[in-house]
Amino acid sequence: MSEPPRQRPRSAIESLIVIAVVVAVGAAAFAYTAGWLSPNRLTPQRLVDAFSPPSGPALGHRRNHAKGICFTGMFESNGAGSELSRAFAFSKGSYPVVGRLNLGTPDADAADATVRVRGLGVQISAPDGQEWRMALINPPFFAVSNPDGFFALLQASASKDPNAMPELIKVHPEIADFDAWAKSAPWTGSYAEEQYNSLDAFIFTDASGASHPMRWSLLPAAQPVPVPVEELAKRGPNFLEEEIVQRIKSGPARWTMVVTVPNPGDQTADPSKAWPADRRKVEVGTLVVQTIEAEADGPCRDVNFDPTILPSGVAVSDDPFPAARSAAYRVSFDRRTAEAKDYPRTVAGASQ
Ligand code: HEM
C-alpha cells in the first residue's frame, strides 16, 4: 500500500504571514463593528451620545428616561392570552414584577411638568427563570418611523440651525403627527392615570406553533383626570413621585394589559403608525403595583428594561426598533453602572 503524499512543512515566514492575515482580518472585523471604518454609520454609542445635553449626561443615570422611581408588584394573568401566545405570563396565575415609572428625558433632575413622555418599565418573572422585559410609553405612536430617523430627530432637536427641524420633518412627516399629539393630548397628575403602549410589534407564538404579530398596552384602572400643565407646574418638580407614593399607601395601582390583534396586512415595521382603532383587543391580565421605592436604593436601579428580553412564545418582528433599542440600552446600562460612584446609594447594602 503506497503512503499518501506528505505535505511540505510551512516555512517560518509562511507561518508568520498566515498569523498576520488572521490578525488583520480580526482587526478589520473589530474596526467595522466599532464603526471606525465608517464614522457616519449609526452605532449604539453614537445613538446614546446623541441624548447627551451640552452640559454632559447625568452620570450614573439612564441616558434617556433618566428620572424614575422603582416599584414591585404582580402580573395577574387571567389566562385569556394563552389563545395568542404560549408565553408563561399568559397562563392563568400570578407572577412577580419589578418595574420603573419614569420620564422621557436625559435630565435626572427635570421638573415633572416639563416632560411630555411618561414611561413604564416592567420585568415579569417566571418560576423557571424566564423573564419578559418591556418598556412602554404613553404616546399612542412613536415620533419617527425608524431608528435612523430617531437619531436625526435627536440631532435636529439639539441643533442651533432653525431649519434643522423643518428640513427633517420634510423627510419624516410623522414627526409633525407626534408634535400634534404632544401639543393636544391632555396631561394628568399621576403616573397611575396614564396608558402605556408597547408601540413596537412583536410576534406571539401559540401552543399550536402558529405565529401572529401583536402590540399591547397597559390601560389604567384609575380614571384619567386632565390637568392643565401650568397647574401641574405649581405642584413642584417631583409631584409625580410624591403622588404615586401617597396613592399606593391607600392601596395598589392597577393597569389592565390589553393585546391588540392586527388584521391581515396591517404593517408591523413602523411604530409611528398606529393600527386602526377597530382592531380586536384581548384583555390578558392586570399589572398590580404594590410598593414604591426610591430608585437610588430600589430593585429597578440596575435593571435594563431591554425589550428584546422575551419569554418563549414572544419574539421580535420586522420592527427594527427593538434591536436598536437593545443595543442602545446596553450601552447606557454599561455606562451608568460603571458610574455608580456618581449616583451613590443612600442605604448600605440596599437591593441590587
Ligand atoms: C431607537 C429608538 C430608541 C432609543 C435609541 C432609545 C434609547 C433609550 C435609552 C438609552 C434608555 C435608557 C436605558 C437604560 O439605561 O436602561 C431608554 C429607556 C427607555 N426607553 Fe427608549 N429608546 C428608543 C425607543 C423607545 C421606544 C419606541 C419606547 C417605547 C415604546 C421607549 C421607551 C423607553 C422607556 C420606557 C425607557 C425607560 C426604561 C427604564 O425604566 O429603564 N424607547 N431608551
Domains (range + CATH), the chain: 62-139+191-346 (2.40.180.10), 141-184 (no CATH)
Give yes or no for a contact between 141 and 267, defined as CB atoms under 8 angstroms apart.
Answer: no
Query: Could you tell me the three cell numbers for 105?
Result: 428625558
- Ligand 1 centroid to residue 269 C-alpha, Å: 17
Q: Which one, of 101, 133, 106, lies nearest residue 118 by Cα? A: 101
pLDDT at residue 218 above 90?
Answer: yes
Full-model pTM: 0.91
What are the backbone dihedrals phi and psi of residue 16, each rounded to the nearest 5 degrees, phi first? -65, -40
Backbone angles phi and psi of 290, in degrees to 5: -105, -35
Q: Is the CB of 60 under 6 A from ligand 1?
A: no
> Residues 63, 329: contact at Cβ < 8 Å?
no
Mean pLDDT of 338-349: 89
- How far the first Cα of the chain sits from its last, in Å, is 70
Give distance in angstroms: CA of 263 to centre of ligand 1: 28
Distances (CA, A) of 188 to 83, 180, 246: 34, 17, 16
Q: Tell me what percent of the residues of the chain surpass a pLDDT of 90.
A: 87
Tell me how far apart the alpha carbons of residues 107 and 96 are, in angstroms, rounded to a whole number. Answer: 30
Which mutation among 62, 70, 241 tests ligand 1's pocket best, with the greatest number of atoms within 8 A of CB?
62
Match 394628568 to its residue by C-alpha cell.
188
Provide mean pLDDT across the span 287-293: 98
Q: Give yes or no for residue 304 CB within 6 A of ligand 1.
A: yes
DSSP 313-347: TEEE-S-SHHHHHHHHHHHHHHHHHHTGGGS--SS
* pLDDT exceeds 90 at position 32: no
pLDDT digits (tens, 9 = 90+) for 59-101: 999 999 999 999 999 999 999 999 999 999 999 999 999 999 9
- Residue in 77, 128, 121, 127 with CA at minimum distance from that of residue 101: 121
8 A C-beta contact, residue 106 and residue 51: yes
**What pLDDT is stored for residue 19 in this prediction?**
78
Q: Are 99 and 289 in contact (CB under 8 A)?
A: yes
Amino acid identity for residue 34 in this structure: A
Model confidence at 269, pLDDT cuts 50, 70, 90, reads: very high
324 lines ligand 1 (CB under 6 A): yes
Residues contacting 3, CB < 8 A, separation 6+: none
pLDDT at 30: 60
Task: Report in angstroms the alpha-carbon separations of 250 from 241, 243, 244, 247, 295.
Answer: 15, 12, 10, 6, 21
Residue 42: which residues within 8 A CB-CB, separation 6 or more? 147, 148, 151
- State the pLDDT at residue 13: 79
Query: Nearest to residue 257, comparing CAs of 187, 201, 195?
Result: 195
- pLDDT of res. 33: 56
Is the model's pLDDT at 3 over the cut of 60?
Answer: no
Distance CA 22, CA 20 (A): 5
Residue 327 Cβ < 6 Å to ligand 1 = no
The CB of 123 under 6 Å from ligand 1? The reply is no
Flag whether pLDDT at 8 surpasses 90: no
Looking at the CA of residue 99, tell me the nearest atom of ligand 1: 40
pLDDT tens digits for 93-102? 999 999 999 9
64 close to ligand 1 (CB < 6 Angstrom): yes
Q: Across residues 284-308, what is the average pLDDT?
A: 98
Q: Which atom from ligand 1 is nearest to the alpha carbon of 198?
A: 30
Question: What's the whole-number mean pLDDT along residues 193-203?
Answer: 98
| 202 pLDDT higher than 80 | yes
Average pLDDT along the chain = 94
Are the beta carbons of 87 and 214 closer than 8 angstroms? Answer: no
pLDDT at residue 327 tops 70: yes
Is the distance from CB of 221 to CB of 172 less than 8 angstroms? no
> Tell me, what's the pLDDT at 20?
77
What are the tens digits of pLDDT across the range 147-169?
A: 999 999 999 999 999 999 999 99
Residue (of 222, 231, 247) closest to 112 by Cα position: 231
pLDDT band of 18, cuts 50, 70, 90: confident
Q: How many Å apart are CA 184 and CA 317, to the nearest integer?
A: 31
Q: Above 80 in pLDDT, residue 319?
A: yes
Cβ neighbors of 108 (< 8 A, separation 6 or more) are 58, 61, 66, 67
Q: Is the CB of 119 under 6 A from ligand 1?
A: yes
